[in-house]
């Protein structure tokens, strides 16, 4: 494990926000229950000693991910891409509703606090991507980033894994679509603006709420809402096609803000928009219930009731076609409100089709691929 010296392991709350924030533990999850694959369950009990229950702040630890591939493939019919890159596993943003939390269970870690404090990063990402794009069998299409964990979470500031990936995609003329909650995306405007001029890049900022208090509690280490709006403006001013994701919409908690979010994003320069409703698969159901009762106890029962009304009486439906949007009157009303606001604001009039026709393997990558194959053959001799 390593800890970059420039990263404060305990915060700050909004790493890119100059405004001082109230005291907060900086984490979304309240517990760290065992994963669904563990035979034993971790239970915190009182052993009778008179001790202070306050525990020291959790520190973020970073571990190298020794993956041998970087492009992840999917065939889900309700996802508009077939390949993605996740520079990180786990996400320090700590969004309590994050549908990627259960993936930490595959690592033997908890989808709770482990997910936001034990981060795996891929230092060889650029090298692996170069090899995969240069392979003769590769066929160009849009690479999605930010579809699982955020490529611009705080640790990216020093590690620069995402930036190294963008450089490779730019060199190959391979288009990229990014979704993020991080103002840090503006650091890479030099690469993104250059790619945008070649019709190779678009970015969506995910804005869940404009209420800073709710954002601080629900997504504690993501950029503050006004900073995400600023990122939209900076990207748009630089000529990068930019949109907003009002996601997830949680009935009874933040859904009333949908129109205000879309209006603010449009004024900042967003030309496209999308939305999803809350998804609570696997361990997230219990984590969200726990968070909701602790942070918004007056709304908890109503919110959970409304979620069930969108999910056929359950807290989640995994079926393609309904998992992103829900069903029933409440889900239909949210969708109708979204469409009305988008039409009023003139969003989604232009659908950018990123260019896949000018993909080319740079000569430097061809040389590196030949050298790698030669080295592999030589190693087999030993």
Taking 60 as the threshold, does the pLDDT of residue 294 lie above it? Answer: yes
Residue ranges and CATH numbers for the domains of the chain are 61-346 (3.80.30.30)
Q: Cα separation of 207 and 274, whole Å?
A: 11
Bin 176: left if φ > 0, else alpha if -120 < ψ < 50, else beta: beta
Other Cβ atoms less than 10 A from the Cβ of 24: the count is 13
Most confidently predicted of 4-18, 38-52, 55-69: 55-69
Per-chain mean pLDDT for the chain: 86
Q: Cα separation of 329 and 255, whole Å?
A: 14
Taking 70 as the threshold, does the pLDDT of residue 3 lie above it? Answer: no
Over residues 190-207, the pLDDT tens digits come to 999 999 999 999 999 999
139's tokens = 């066929």
Looking at residue 80, what is its pLDDT?
74
Q: Cα separation of 151 and 147, whole Å?
A: 9
Confidence at 28, pLDDT banded by 50, 70, 90: confident
**Strand 118-121 and strand 88-89: pairing?**
antiparallel
């Amino acid at each position: 494990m390593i800890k970059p010296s420039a990263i404060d392991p305990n915060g700050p709350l909004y790493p890119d926000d100059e405004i001082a924030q109230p005291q907060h533990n900086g984490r979304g999850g309240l517990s760290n229950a065992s994963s669904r694959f563990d035979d034993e369950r971790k239970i915190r009990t009182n052993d009778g000693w008179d001790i202070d229950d306050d525990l020291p702040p959790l520190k973020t630890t970073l571990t190298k991910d020794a993956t041998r591939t970087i492009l992840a493939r999917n065939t889900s019919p309700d996802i508009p891409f077939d390949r993605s890159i996740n520079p990180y596993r786990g996400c320090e943003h700590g969004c309590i509703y994050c549908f990627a939390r259960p993936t930490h269970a595959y690592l033997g870690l908890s989808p709770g606090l482990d997910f936001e404090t034990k981060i795996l990063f891929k230092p060889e990402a650029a090298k692996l991507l170069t090899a995969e794009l240069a392979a003769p069998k590769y066929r160009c299409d849009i690479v999605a980033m930010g579809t699982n964990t955020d490529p611009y979470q705080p640790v990216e500031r020093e590690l620069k894994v995402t930036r190294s990936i963008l450089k490779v995609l730019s060199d190959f003329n391979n288009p990229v679509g990014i979704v993020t909650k991080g103002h840090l995306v503006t650091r890479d405007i030099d690469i993104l603006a250059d790619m945008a001029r070649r019709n190779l890049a678009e970015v969506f900022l995910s804005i869940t709420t404009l209420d800073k208090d709710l954002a601080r509690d629900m997504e504690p280490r993501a950029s503050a809402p006004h900073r995400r709006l600023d990122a939209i403006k900076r990207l748009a001013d630089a000529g990068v096609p930019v949109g907003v994701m009002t996601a997830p919409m949680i009935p009874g908690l933040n859904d009333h803000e949908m129109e205000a979010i879309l209006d603010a994003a449009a004024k900042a320069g967003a030309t496209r928009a999308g939305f999803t409703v809350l998804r609570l698969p696997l361990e997230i159901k219990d984590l969200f219930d726990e968070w909701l009762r602790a942070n918004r106890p007056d709304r908890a029962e109503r919110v959970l009731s409304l979620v069930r009304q969108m999910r056929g009486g359950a807290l989640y439906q995994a079926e393609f076609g309904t998992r992103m949007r829900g069903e029933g009157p409440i889900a239909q009303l949210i969708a109708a409100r979204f469409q009305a606001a988008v039409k009023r604001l003139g969003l989604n009039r232009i659908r950018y089709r990123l260019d896949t026709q000018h993909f080319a393997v740079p000569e430097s990558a061809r040389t590196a691929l030949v050298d790698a194959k030669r080295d592999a053959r030589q190693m087999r001799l030993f």
